[in-house]
Structure 1
Amino acid sequence: MHDRDVRAAVLNWLGDVHAGDADTRVVQEMGIWAGSVRVDIAVINGELCGFELKSERDTLERLPAQAELYNQVFDRVTLVIAERHATKAAGIIPDWWGVSLACGSAAKGVSLDHERQPARNPVSQPIQIARLLWRAEALVVLDRHALSRGYRSRPVGILVQRLAAELPVDVLRDEVRAALKARQGWLGDTPTQQRKMPVHANLHPVE
């Protein structure tokens, strides 16, 4: 079972769950921490949910560091993992993460066993949520809340600090999700490389 097999199973499941929901966007390899780290799949709608995938061929070496970073950004996180990793992973991720087991094989097909549903994140950090915004997006939000005076020429790091300090966290979350759902030119790549797709589009695994 390869990453692409697990990814295809998750994308197909998300496509079924959110079929016809124009308010939901599914993004693959979404950057967090100013783009320095990428989560395998993100779902953006009334919440920002991350999905980290670990196939049989993966190791859990990076999972502790990934968990620490994801905990600061996402409203909910689900670990989708091959059965052989399940016991070890349970000692790494927090209790509020969801857990889905990826079972089967590429030849026979991969199915998902949703063992634990994710709970709401109790430890997210406003500054890391704000850092999901590009500079132009941050300026739009500052303008909307009359916070841009004296800041329009400042670097993006200063802009997101102001947003995190001045906006109630629920308002900040709403603004960030709205910007992410409307974003074009994700990752600055060509359309076939952007790895972005609304769930109502045809979902195919990334090779």
Structure 2
Amino acid sequence: MQSANHDHQLRAVLKAHLAPRVGEKDLLVDELLLAWGAVRADVALVNGTLEAFEIKAGKDTLKRLPAQVEAYDAIFEYAWLVTTADHLPEARAVLPTWWGILVAKEGPAGLSLAQARTAKPNKKRQGEHLVRLLWRDEVLSKLEALGLLKGLKSKPKLVLYESLAAAMPIGELGVYVRECLKARPGWRA
């Protein structure tokens, strides 16, 4: 019987769990960098939404979870904790109510995931953080399409990010970010 003590064990079960939801034009990304690389989303699903999965296996601690929650809250439309039953009490105390929880269960057929709480839409996303998932040329392209590129082309990335985040409502920005991530040829984070 397979245990859920290590990240790679839960990651494999999670990917199998997500497989029916991943279409040909969708993207499943391991270790997506957030917050200038200070935080990584263990797995991100980019389809009609931007969804994140944080894995906390049996041998993990939840010490970094508050910082991870803060980074996820700024970017993702939906977020999930994938964990073991042992971590549930502490996790529930840390996680916002909009986060979903998937719990590893060991059975005769091996590990599976059971939903302990459904993820709800995140109302805290911030354009200035979401836009940082874009590459410079993607930001420049959108600013040009919006007629806002004049005087910005040679500016630092931070100025470009701020300009684009201010120019687009969060919903439209989210659509654009998802389109860019999925359009990158052969891209894997």
Structures share fold, TM-score greater than 0.5: yes
Quote the offset at 1:108 in angstroms. 6.0
Aligned residue number for residue 17 of structure 1: 21
User: How many Å apart are 1:22 and its aligned residue?
Assistant: 2.2
| Aligned equivalents of 2:39, 2:155: Cα separation in 1 | 24
Look up the match of 2:74: 72
Q: CA offset at residue 102 of structure 1?
A: 1.1
Query: 2:138 corresponds to which residue?
Result: 137
Q: Does the aligned pair in 2 maintain the 1:134–1:156 contact within 8 Å?
A: no
Indicate the structure whose relative CO is greater, using CA pairs within 8 Å and at least 6 residues apart: 1
Match of 1:177 in 2: 178
Which amino acid counterpart does residue 15 of structure 2 have in structure 1? L
Q: State the 1:109 CA deviation.
A: 2.3
Question: TM-score normalized by structure 1?
Answer: 0.84
Structure 1 residue 132 displacement after superposition = 1.1
Shift in Å, 1:35: 3.2
Question: Alignment partner of 2:112: what SS?
Answer: strand
Provide the secondary structure at the position in 2 that maps to 1:56.
Answer: coil
Report the counterpart of residue 205 of structure 1 in structure 2: none
| Alignment correspondent of 2:128 | 127
Q: Which shows bigger deviation, 138-147 or 76-85? A: 138-147
Alpha-carbon contact 2:100-2:120 (below 8 Å) kept? yes
- State TM-score, norm by structure 2: 0.92
Cα displacement (A) at 1:42: 0.3
1:39/1:51 contact within 8 Å kept: yes
Aligned residue in 1 for 2:160: 159
Give the AA of the match of 2:159: I
Three-state SS of the structure 2 residue aligned to 1:79 is strand
CA distance in 1, matches of 2:20, 2:172: 29
Structure with the bigger percentage of helix: 2
Counterpart of 2:92, as a letter, is A
1:140-179: per-residue Cα shift (whole Å, max 9, x none)?
A: 1112211111111111111010011111221111111111
| 2:12 corresponds to | 8
Are the counterparts in 2 of residues 164 and 172 from structure 1 also a CA contact under 8 Å? yes
Q: Does the aligned pair in 2 maintain the 1:142–1:163 contact within 8 Å?
A: yes
Aligned residues: 185
Contact 2:32/2:42 (CA < 8 Å) preserved in 1? yes
Cα distance in 2, alignment partners of residues 17 and 174 from structure 1: 18
Uncovered stretches (5+) of structure 1, i.e. residues with no partner:
187-193, 196-207
Alignment correspondent of 2:41: 39
CA contact (8 A) 2:125 2:170 kept: no
How large is the RMSD of aligned CA atoms in angstroms?
A: 1.7
Cα distance in structure 1, aligned partners of 2:19 and 2:86 = 26
Identity %: 38
Structure 2 counterpart SS, 1:128: helix
* CA offset digits 1:16-38 (Å, max 9, x no partner): 233xx223211010111233321
Aligned-partner Cα distance in 2 for 1:115–1:24:
25
| Whole-angstrom distance in 1 between the partners of 2:39 and 2:125 | 16
Separation (CA, whole Å) in 2 of partners of 1:11 and 1:150: 44
Off by >4 Å, runs of 4+ in structure 1: none
Secondary structure of the 1:31 match is strand
